[in-house]
Amino acid sequence: MKPSTIEAFEAAVRYEDARTAVPDGFPPLPEIPGGRYSRQDFYDAEFAAVWRGGWVCAGRDDDIREPGMFRLFDKLGAPIILVRGKDRRLRAFFNSCRHRGAPVVRDACGKASLLRCQYHSWSYGLDGRLIGVPDERDFQGLDKTQRGLLEVRCDVWDGLAFISLAPDAPPLETYLGSVMQDMASCGLAGMRTLDRRSFVVNCNWKAAIDAFLEVYHVRTIHPETVGAMLSATAAAMGILPNGHSRLVNRRNMTGVNFGEYGDAPNNHAMPDVFRENAIAFHVFPNLVMPVDTVGFPLLLFWPRGPHQCEMEAIFIGPDWGEGDRPAFWDDYLVVYEQLLNEDLMNLEGIQASLNSEAFTGMMINYQERRIYWFHEEIDRRIGVNNIPASLIVEPKLAAWCEARDMVPA
């Protein structure tokens, strides 16, 4: 991370901690219509435009690290297989044989030298090429070079796998922008997967992500965990192009942070700004990373209809070398699961309100502006002409998107 970026982060935190009012010129934010969280027509529009229309993080590529290793991916309404080729490149294909559409693999994950159809044994190379067709003589005019598996765009950033069903999505590097620069020193690719948890929550996926885009709630919901670890007023939010955002939140360095534990691991490559502050990123639409030098979860959110979602937590930490996982992680995972459950415990009740006439709209304050920016990006993806007028979020925050001064004048 550049020294100028670190200085800007620290200046922004000092500004936020000292301010006594909303910054001059910051616009009042209109209510976010509750129907965005409950209506089937809006869900269908955003699923097409957001989830199937751009990049989404599919997890760690380290899970598919050896040639021939594969994993099924079914979060986007299409059967997809991620597979590591003999050239060590990670690729994604539709898990659909070009003969009659049967799956080429059925197991959730595994390792194979070929991808072989489970119905008629058409076989494909790890690069998707059609290699073998039983009784090939009976297929008149078959050109195997034109019948390989259909490829899905797939790219990797620092050990994280991204896929896109949209041929016109920008290159991943362009899409991620400054997030890549800010996290370059974290060494994600070299970290190890420690544990995985999955939470099915009876709420809209946006309501779940909203809970991780602000710290206004921490003193109420997390009084003994995050509320004790962080200074809630010393929190600088950055809104970034393409719907991404960032939080820099000063830590209370009083022995309540994970990094203060005597046996805590330490990612020495990360600059001190990550030790002195909790820095979290939201990579639109579905990845939240609350970064910590001891390790942290990758939180992946997946829609399951208008009223339900899944949150995957993939815990990663510095590589400890040979031997068993350090005992620190046993305590860490217990505390972090408690923290996540605290974040999720109100969401089913919130969804019940969103589904009823009890809710007129969501009132968003300055501290919660990352939520509003998140919704603005959803509308940009869908296109306001494709959204009922009563559900549109009025664009207000473009002038506050970075590459401008991070501390308002």
Tell me, what's the pLDDT at 262? 64
**What mean pLDDT comes out for the span 384-398?**
96
Q: Is the pLDDT of residue 221 over 50?
A: yes
More confident residue, 268 or 354: 354
Q: Is the pLDDT of residue 146 over 90?
A: yes
Band of the pLDDT at 214, cuts 50, 70, 90? confident
Ramachandran area for residue 271 (φ above 0: left; ψ -120 to 50: alpha; else beta): beta
Contact 343, 211 (CB under 8 A): yes
DSSP for residue 368: G
Tell me, what's the pLDDT at 404? 39
Q: Is the pLDDT of residue 37 over 90?
A: yes
Q: Is the pLDDT of residue 188 over 50?
A: yes
Tell me, what's the pLDDT at 269? 83
**What mean pLDDT comes out for the span 148-165?**
97
Considering the segment(s) 56-157 as one domain, its CATH architecture is: 3-layer Sandwich (2.102)
Q: What are phi and psi of 16, to 5 degrees?
A: -65, -40
Contact 367, 22 (CB under 8 A): no
Q: Is the pLDDT of residue 334 over 80?
A: yes
Q: Is the pLDDT of residue 172 over 60?
A: yes
State whether residue 110 is helix, strand or coil: strand
What is the C-alpha separation between 19 and 15, in angstroms, rounded? 6
What is the C-alpha separation between 397 and 244, in angstroms, rounded? 13
What is the C-alpha separation between 355 and 53, in angstroms, rounded? 26
Tell me, what's the pLDDT at 201? 96
Q: Is the pLDDT of residue 405 over 50?
A: no
Q: Show contacts of 105-110: CB within 8 Å, 24+ apart.
A: 105/70, 105/72, 105/81, 107/72, 108/71, 108/72, 109/63, 109/64, 109/69, 109/70, 109/71, 109/72, 110/69, 110/70
Band of the pLDDT at 151, cuts 50, 70, 90? very high
Residues of the chain with CATH 2.102.10.10: 56-157
What CATH code is assigned to 3-53+178-400? 3.90.380.10
Band of the pLDDT at 223, cuts 50, 70, 90? low
Range from 5-9, 154-158, 405-409 that averages highest in pLDDT: 154-158
**What mean pLDDT comes out for the span 57-64?**
94
Range of lowest pLDDT (146-160, 276-290, 317-331): 317-331
Tell me, what's the pLDDT at 409? 37
Q: Is the pLDDT of residue 209 over 50?
A: yes
Tell me, what's the pLDDT at 259? 63
Q: Is the pLDDT of residue 227 over 70?
A: no
Residues of the chain with CATH 3.90.380.10: 3-53+178-400
First to last CA, the chain: 24
Using CA atoms, how far residue 183 sits from 8, 28, 30, in Å, is 15, 31, 32
**What mean pLDDT comes out for the span 106-126?**
96
Tell me, what's the pLDDT at 303? 98
Band of the pLDDT at 233, cuts 50, 70, 90? confident
Q: Is the pLDDT of residue 406 over 50?
A: no
Residue 47: HSE in the Cβ half-sphere, 13 Å Cα cutoff:
19
Band of the pLDDT at 407, cuts 50, 70, 90? very low
**What mean pLDDT comes out for the span 342-346?**
89
pTM here is: 0.93
Average pLDDT, the chain: 91
